[in-house]
A and B are shown apart, each in its own frame.
Chain A
Amino acid sequence: MNESRGVLPAPVEDLLDVALVAELTVISETGRPVTYPLIPLYDGQHIFMTSAVLFSRKLRHIKANPKVAVALTDPVGVPAEPFARATIQGDATVIEDDLHAGWETLLPLWRAKEPVIDSFVKKRFGIPLFFERSIIQIRPRRVLYWEGGATATAPQVFELAELG
């Protein structure tokens, strides 16, 4: 296993570094799991996602219950070599002190993964409410990891406190 550069196991970090889509599962006020496809960003400590105020239901769910999971499952959306699957459970915080510009602090991470984001931001005047965004900051707590993406077998489980 390569050396981890942050709080997550190295193979999971490798997945996150290339993932263009992850499935964020939150828990609704009624206790129902609800899953949303979003782009994940990772700075070595936290997983970040952003949500436009246009699509804010997930933010309300997180504020009511911060327990979430981020799954990396799709070989197309997660073009890692070798492919694997992982689910990262953690505690989410919604950061929205500045909906207009606060999320732009994530642009370096976003740009590294998806350079086209800069051209979208330049055209924010075309769809201004899409660029009023909350940050979802997730502190990882546990990881389920399936080598080769083989979910018929039991996952390796990493309790992150044990990772040090």
Chain B
Amino acid sequence: MSKLELTDAVARADGYSHAVVSFVGADGYPVSVAGEFSTDPGRASLDIGPLATEVLPAAGAEVCITFSHIRPQSGIGYDERRYVNLWGPAEPDGDHLRVTAVRATGWDEADIPFFEYAERSVPAAHEYMEEVGDQRPHLSKWWTFFLATRLPFLTATIVPVALGGAVAARDGAFAWGWWLLALVAACAVHLGLNIANDIFDDASGADSANVTPTPFSGGSRVIQYGLVSRRGMVRACVAFYAVAVAIGLFLAAERGWWLLAIGAVGVVLSLVYTAPPFRLVHRGLGEPVTALGFGPVMTLGAYYVCAQQWSWEAVYISLPVALLIALVLYVNQIPDRAGDEAVGKRTLIVRWPESRVITAYELMAGSAFVLIALGPPLGITPWWTLLGLLTAPMALKVVRGLRASYGQPYALMPVMQTNIGLHLFTGLLLVVGYLIDVLVG
């Protein structure tokens, strides 16, 4: 609960149905009694009553006046949760009690959403758990892995790798085994990157400063919540990169040494993204790095593994996917804005005003669809890839959502979800377009 200005607290009380007066009785137990009330915000005072004189506090006794509201929602839980606590000395007057507030606290989820309220309390939770003894918060191994790696974001890797395989299939060069190995290596780099990102954002203080994380933003929080130690995260990060490098070396030796260059670019991009001294995401360069790594690098790498040659077509068709994955990062940084700014992580979202952020989104999303539309008439990509244009309404939905909810982290959650879907479904439709082209010749 937060401290409130006294007059503000009394004014807030006016919105409640009744007051609950609590004081410590003669036998040392608290006594609580509800009653009707009136307020005088100017004097920060309340008048509660009529109350039975048997349950009135003695003059001068410290009383706590509580106003609480909650709306039970069947099958959902609660909403409209808010309460105000005021303290002051009791002034009994017949069957009424007057209290002039000297201290007030409260919480209203309309002002501070529950999840933010909980997030602000994380340090207090750790302090308490230390007091209690040898207990640490934990989840099952599966959920810990799921959270720490941010597993669902693997769609960002699966789409470009699938696209590289689809282009190879059109060229009659698709090879299941090699492609699967490339997919595993790419996923390992991605998971290593996600964990590295958490490690460095923890070290810089960016994740701790962020009190409005969502399932799509603000990092995995496993370090902040004490679910995984920093050392554990470093070990997992090294393990994923080791897997990626080992598979990458094997693929390079078997399929062509150019893969070593492509893989090295991918690994370096993933590290310079947040690792000091580069920290490109802190310099407003997170989007181009993400676009390059999760676009041309992965698509071309997957293509090369299968076809053992370069393909400008693979590079071209990776560009809309690259733009859309950069937009996933871009939009997911909007709720992190305050926390990022506090630690000097100057992303584009921090640097730009809302209007420019949304205009840039429109330009980048529009460019992705223009690239898809131009591919077939330019003779670069098959006509069936125009299927990728079907998701354009999702981009419009994202823009509308950004305009409506830009400053509200939790209201942005469906917008971020749609934006992630935009990348996923556009990429999958491009893959489907290639596969149809292969099937129908």
Measured CB to CB, the residues of A under 8 A from B are 20-21, 23, 25-27, 31-35, 37, 52-57, 59-60, 67-71, 73-77, 79, 85, 87, 89-90, 96, 98-100, 114-116, 120, 124-130, 132, 134, 141-142, 144, 149, 151-155
**Inter-chain contact B75/A115, CB cutoff 8 Å:** yes
Bound-state Cα–Cα, A129 to B34, Å: 33
**Inter-chain contact A71/B64, CB cutoff 8 Å:** no
Residue of A37, A57, A125 with most chain B CB atoms under a 10 A cut-off: A37
Question: How far, in Å, is B104 (CB) from chain A's closest CB?
Answer: 12
Q: Of B35, B68, B124, which one neighbours A56 at CB under 8 angstroms? A: B124
**Inter-chain contact B132/A25, CB cutoff 8 Å:** no
Measured CB to CB, the residues of B under 8 A from A are 17-18, 20, 22-25, 28-35, 49-55, 62-64, 66, 68-72, 75-78, 83, 85, 87, 95, 115, 118, 121-122, 124-125, 128-129, 132, 135, 137-139, 143, 146-147, 215, 225, 227
Q: Of B22, B135, B147, which one neighbours A35 at CB under 8 angstroms? A: B22
> Could you pull out 12 A-B pairs where Cβ atoms are within 8 angstroms?
A25-B22, A26-B30, A37-B70, A67-B30, A73-B32, A89-B30, A115-B75, A116-B76, A151-B34, A151-B35, A153-B52, A155-B54
Question: How far, in Å, is B25 (CB) from chain A's closest CB?
Answer: 8
Beta-carbon nearest neighbor of A67 in chain B: B29
Question: How far, in Å, is B82 (CB) from chain A's closest CB?
Answer: 10
CB-CB under 8 A for A155 and B137, given A54-B122, A74-B18: no
Taking CB atoms, residues of chain B closer than 8 Å to A73 are 18, 20, 32, 34
**Inter-chain contact A35/B85, CB cutoff 8 Å:** yes
Q: Is the interface of A mostly helix, strand, loop or mixed?
A: mixed
Question: How far, in Å, is B37 (CB) from chain A's closest CB?
Answer: 11
Question: How far, in Å, is A149 (CB) from chain B's closest CB?
Answer: 7
Taking CB atoms, residues of chain A closer than 8 Å to B146 are 125
Beta-carbon nearest neighbor of B221 in chain A: A128
**Inter-chain contact A124/B64, CB cutoff 8 Å:** no
**Inter-chain contact B30/A25, CB cutoff 8 Å:** yes
Q: Of A37, A96, A129, A153, which one neighbours B68 at CB under 8 angstroms? A: A37
Bound-state Cα–Cα, A77 to B69, Å: 8
Question: How far, in Å, is A39 (CB) from chain B's closest CB?
Answer: 9
Please give 20 more A-B residue pairs, beta carbons under 8 A apart, in addition to A67-B29, A74-B17, A151-B51. A20-B78, A23-B32, A26-B30, A33-B23, A35-B64, A37-B66, A54-B122, A69-B30, A74-B34, A76-B71, A99-B137, A116-B77, A125-B139, A125-B143, A127-B118, A129-B137, A134-B132, A144-B33, A152-B95, A153-B52
CB-CB under 8 A for A152 and B50, given A71-B20, A73-B18: yes
Taking CB atoms, residues of chain B closer than 8 Å to A151 are 33-35, 51-52, 55
Taking CB atoms, residues of chain A closer than 8 Å to B125 are 52-54, 56, 129, 132
**Inter-chain contact A53/B72, CB cutoff 8 Å:** no
**Inter-chain contact B24/A23, CB cutoff 8 Å:** no
Residue of B18, B24, B30, B72 with most chain A CB atoms under a 10 A cut-off: B30
Bound-state Cα–Cα, A134 to B51, Å: 35
**Inter-chain contact A129/B122, CB cutoff 8 Å:** yes
**Inter-chain contact A54/B118, CB cutoff 8 Å:** yes
**Inter-chain contact B29/A56, CB cutoff 8 Å:** no
Beta-carbon nearest neighbor of B16 in chain A: A74
Q: Of A31, A125, A132, A142, which one neighbours B147 at CB under 8 angstroms? A: A125
Taking CB atoms, residues of chain A closer than 8 Å to B118 are 52, 54, 127, 129-130
**Inter-chain contact A154/B62, CB cutoff 8 Å:** no
**Inter-chain contact A87/B33, CB cutoff 8 Å:** yes
**Inter-chain contact A77/B72, CB cutoff 8 Å:** yes
Taking CB atoms, residues of chain B closer than 8 Å to A27 are 24, 28, 30
Taking CB atoms, residues of chain B closer than 8 Å to A126 are 215
**Inter-chain contact B62/A33, CB cutoff 8 Å:** yes
Beta-carbon nearest neighbor of A129 in chain B: B125
**Inter-chain contact A152/B49, CB cutoff 8 Å:** yes
Bound-state Cα–Cα, A92 to B147, Å: 36
Taking CB atoms, residues of chain A closer than 8 Å to B128 are 53, 56, 59-60
Taking CB atoms, residues of chain A closer than 8 Å to B34 are 71, 73-74, 85, 149, 151
Beta-carbon nearest neighbor of B76 in chain A: A116
**Inter-chain contact B135/A34, CB cutoff 8 Å:** no
**Inter-chain contact A128/B137, CB cutoff 8 Å:** yes
**Inter-chain contact A87/B77, CB cutoff 8 Å:** no
**Inter-chain contact B29/A89, CB cutoff 8 Å:** yes
Question: How far, in Å, is A157 (CB) from chain B's closest CB?
Answer: 9
Taking CB atoms, residues of chain A closer than 8 Å to B29 are 67-69, 89-90, 141-142
